[in-house]
Amino acid sequence: MNRGVAITGMGIISALGSGVEANFKALIKSQDGITFPEILKTKHTSFPLGEVKTLNLDFEKKLQLPDHHSYTRASLLGIIAAKEAIKYSGLNAKELSNTGFISGSSVGGMDATEKYYLEYEKSTSHHQYIPAQHPGFTTNKISEHLNIKGFTTTISTACSSGANAIMLGARLIKAGELKRVIVGGTDCLTKFTLNGFNSLKILSEEKCKAFDDSRNGLNLGEGAAYLVLEAEHLAKNKKIVGRVLGYGNANDAYHQTAASETGEGAYKAMKDALEVAGIGAEKIDYINAHGTATRNNDLSETNAIKELFTSVIPDLSSTKAFTGHTLAAAGALEAVFSILSLQNNLIFPNLNFSKPMKESGLLPITELKHKTVNYVLSNSFGFGGNCTSLIFSKNE
């Protein structure tokens, strides 16, 4: 019997707040964290965002960082979330010395490189941030601060990065290559991402409404989340909060930024996840959908779901209206939400929905729903066709 890989810790920071408890309280109260930019300095003030309302300086003080450090916002968010996951799991310094770390990031430290870009030629005062352009720099800064000494790597597959980090960690444990690994992702808001998504004409000037017929784009967000995964023999005396039971990754190579209308990549990722988990589609109690609220994504994902779940579509919702689309961190944030769903037997609502898509009639869950939840399918689909699905289960 496939028991999956044990999850013994989790940590999160998002526009909903810092910590698992703060995020859970917002979810059950249907309170989103979508506001207008305050921390991010941008001329595009009309776009709602899922912004963490904490200045970098406050993070630096909390973490007691030295002057002239090279920690960027993504690494600061990542440290906060990873520290909570480590505390949750009860890992000590000795255990961290041989713990792996796999982190996803799209923009890495671009918030710093774009801020000081015009100064680099004239002054060397901020040259420590030049390497931060590479997402791996963010991963290394987090592991350095937390003194994580094991296998360390970075995943950068756009919006499926965090999910792929979880998948890789689970696979390495199942293969016997690692005994324990911290997995997840972090991304912060930057001018580059806001301008980039605006150029694609997929940002909404209102709160996003996934799977709604009048959906007109996404809200960007920032945040970080991490899970502690452990091999069975290490976790046997710990509280196991859930398991990574299945995973699938596929790419339909359709377009640089758009998903195929038929959802081929999404379908195969979900199908493969079910096969790895060793369960039938009818076992899924809840789908935490990718659900970005763009015209293309929601139709593509809906078509893939309808093809896979031919008889009954499970309860489904997108939680991106709570946090904004946090890019590489999205799959990790939604992994935490999936575990909270399992722990509390709850389906979190798909906010702002009013009218079903005319192409499918899909009806997401729009109010907090109490039901037995044993298996959650969580989807994360990225640019370039990077489609990943994860299946989480209760500890059985």
- Report the catalytic residues: 159, 290, 325
Cβ neighbours for 141, distance < 8 A, ≥ 6 positions apart: 70, 71, 72, 75, 79
Distance CA(10)–CA(39), nearest Å, equals 26
**Residue 391 tokens, joined:** 């299946």
CB 17 within 8 A of CB 32: no
Strands, E assignment, the chain: 5-14, 17-18, 34-35, 49-50, 100-104, 152-155, 180-187, 220-221, 223-230, 242-250, 286-288, 315-317, 346-347, 369-370, 375-382, 386-393
Cβ neighbours for 205, distance < 8 A, ≥ 6 positions apart: 46, 47, 48
Distance CA(241)–CA(89), nearest Å, equals 10
The label of the residue with tokens 């096969």 reads 275
CB 354 within 8 A of CB 209: yes
Strand pairing of 346-347 and 223-230? Answer: unpaired
- Per DSSP, the residues of 280-299 read -GGG--EEE------HHHHH
Cβ neighbours for 275, distance < 8 A, ≥ 6 positions apart: 246, 248
Cβ burial, residue 22 (10 Å; 0-12/13-18/19+):
middle
Q: How many other C-beta atoms can be found within 10 angstroms of the C-beta atom of residue 36?
A: 12
Closest alpha carbon to 340 in 332, 348, 349: 348
